[in-house]
Structure 1
């Protein structure tokens, strides 16, 4: 691989924004890719993939480079040099890369790779937490799996097309996909590509959605004509899946505390040809109370640590703090107790997270069932999806039913 100066400068700028300005990696990369219209697909791929890879291995690379925050541009060039040496890329004769100690870098890598916290590039506290909650063996496998680049997986919008038609349309654009066994609406890209530029995406034929995430809506078993409430809808990936499963019939109430996310959902609804979704911003407790005992199905896609989706959000490792985990567990329990009141007798509810930690998952469900609010509910089934076993995001799903009284 030959390094191009303008592309490497873009990566360095991106790392500065992520590491020093604490900006989100996905937003930074999105901005970087708009910098030069002359860049082709390979140039953009280099910027995106190199930036994400250095973010993913930040701890390992910065220790090898011998640099500490806040990182100067000289520091960031050293980190980039570590990445390049470990990838076997020949360093060009640029002044920023002069005197790179290639042999020392390789030796330091071999030495640090003996310790998991460096080998998998994670904070000490996170390594301890993973080991405590999952056990040494499973945590070791799981964090290794979560450090691999995620596949690009699509969910076919069955309101507009079929899997066969979508495969054909994408192939005409040079994008080839495979079916995923056990995931009826999923296609996985054979090679990474910018699918958002395709006519099929603009026409609302698909959404990008990980395979594990595609299991959430079907677990709720929504049927046409039902009233379904998606309580933490966000920009609505799972809400749109619910609409497809309901054939656009019935009512889906998509709720969130963030109104701007619901605006994005409305835009996606138009593209997807969905018209049975009503959005409601949760700006007071009245919004919830109005729906007490009114919903056939309730989805709680709860806010969580996001540890199951580190493959696509590697910077979360550096943004996450132990105090946040303590507060998010309290929020999860409060949401379960408040939002479960919307389920009518005989109705069902799914509690889901994109976390792999039992303390955010089954332990939260058990705590709810043992509370006053959970007395009328029973756990029908639950499932922990591990990235090391599935090859996809780490997720947790629990189906609960409100039992009819009397």
Structure 2
């Protein structure tokens, strides 16, 4: 059975290598046919290999005369090396023999066998980008504008799995009730550290999609970083709120819950298919204050003629802050794309600002770690906009026990047990 699990992992990693993207639907499809033990094995192997790609390749290349080997062979070698160096429960002979079986070509079988039998004799590297397994150019880039300790913290936490976190629907239940229901289903959960609405899953019993807390709208799967964003908007019942890039709807529905489902929330997105995800969330949570509208946020005033008390611009971005769950984002990132994305984000921000009432608040957020998409977008906007005040978030985020870097325009949340890197900037319209 273990051989089949390795083969399934190999196929997922091969596809990810080709497409620079791991389709979570593919993963879910594979996991659905496995027992709990094999699920854990596959997830550790797949995500472990993805997280440690640079380090694994370094070990492999130390033992190759010519590192130019077929991608299929390299993926198998990564799997074998990961099992040998990082999976204590896997016997060495099994890691070697089962990896060799993945290779069809006899010559490459011999090469794989030779590399795996010698890899434990290679002294570990000293370079930090290898120790923490990040592309060197990204580490150099981060070091150009972030404190060294922040970069180290980001790299360190990117090597660790991110626990599943729920957001409790405060309209209908409490954290204690949700934890009690989960306990009856065999799931261990505790209070989250940062959001007063968060519950962290420690050990899963019933699959969450089948859990009463999800099917009956008592909670929503949402990371703590994402939960912090609406908490900074100073929301009150009966406000008019616009969420410009709302799909898949996690923040939209949290806004509605924080407003006691009273008021008007307009959720827009450029994709009708993705707006259907928002609608699905809204229906599951039985919310009445949310309306959805197809609209291109870069041309927002062509679609909407209204004014809002609060606006959320959770902008499309390069997503580098999601690397704990999506390690592949680090390998497909291209520096030239940061500038292209920042221009798109600036257009969305500028359009959204025109729809904000005087005295209103706009929150700009991304889940990435680039100067272009974060600091520079807000800095240029503030320089060109006379009726804007930047709100200092340091004390507010301290209240939520969030640590990070303040750049004068916004705050980069730094990761910990349940947080991922998120950038937030709160702007108030004066006059």
Q: Same fold (TM over 0.5)?
A: yes
| Alignment-derived partner of residue 13 in structure 2 | 15
CA distance in 1, matches of 2:358, 2:417: 34
CA distance in 2, matches of 1:136, 1:182: 24
Q: 2:30 aligns with which of 29, 32, 35?
A: 32
Gaps of 5+ in 1: none
Residue 398 in structure 1 maps to residue 425 in structure 2: yes
| Alignment-derived partner of residue 125 in structure 1 | 137
Describe how 1:5-404 pairs up with structure 2 within 5 A.
5-34=3-32, 36=33, 39-66=34-61, 71-72=71-72, 74-86=73-85, 87-88=87-88, 89-90=90-91, 91-92=93-94, 93-94=97-98, 95-96=100-101, 99-102=113-116, 104-108=118-122, 110-112=123-125, 114-191=126-203, 194-283=207-296, 287-289=300-302, 291=304, 294-371=307-384, 374-382=385-393, 384-388=411-415, 392-404=419-431
Distance change >3 Å, CA 272–CA 7, structure 1 → 2:
same
CA distance in 2, matches of 1:357, 1:331: 14
CA distance in 1, matches of 2:306, 2:286: 29
Q: Residues 363 and 425 of structure 2 are in contact (CA less than 8 Å); yes or no, is this contact kept in structure 1?
A: yes
Per-residue Cα deviation, 1:281-313 (whole angstroms, up to 9, x for no partner) = 114877534545611110011122212221111
Distance change >3 Å, CA 342–CA 266, structure 1 → 2:
same
* Partner SS state of residue 10, structure 1: helix
* Partner SS state of residue 370, structure 1: helix
Structure 1 residue 174: deviation in Å?
Answer: 0.9
* Partner SS state of residue 186, structure 2: coil
Q: Residues 270 and 297 of structure 2 are in contact (CA less than 8 Å); yes or no, is this contact kept in structure 1?
A: no
Q: Residues 244 and 297 of structure 2 are in contact (CA less than 8 Å); yes or no, is this contact kept in structure 1?
A: no
* Partner SS state of residue 327, structure 2: coil
TM norm structure 2: 0.85
Per-residue Cα deviation, 1:162-186 (whole angstroms, up to 9, x for no partner) = 2111111000011111112442100
* Partner SS state of residue 299, structure 1: strand
Q: Residues 298 and 348 of structure 2 are in contact (CA less than 8 Å); yes or no, is this contact kept in structure 1?
A: no
Structure 1 residue 68: deviation in Å?
Answer: 5.0
Structure 1 residue 64: deviation in Å?
Answer: 2.0
Q: Residues 81 and 100 of structure 1 are in contact (CA less than 8 Å); yes or no, is this contact kept in structure 2?
A: no
Structure 1 residue 321: deviation in Å?
Answer: 1.1
CA distance in 1, matches of 2:310, 2:256: 13
CA distance in 1, matches of 2:297, 2:416: 41
Q: Runs in 1 of length 4+ with deviation above 4 angstroms?
A: 67-70, 100-103, 283-287, 388-391
Superposition RMSD in Å: 2.3
CA distance in 2, matches of 1:293, 1:349: 15
Per-residue Cα deviation, 1:321-354 (whole angstroms, up to 9, x for no partner) = 1121121111122211111111011111111111
Structure 1 residue 315: deviation in Å?
Answer: 1.0
Q: Residues 175 and 197 of structure 2 are in contact (CA less than 8 Å); yes or no, is this contact kept in structure 1?
A: yes
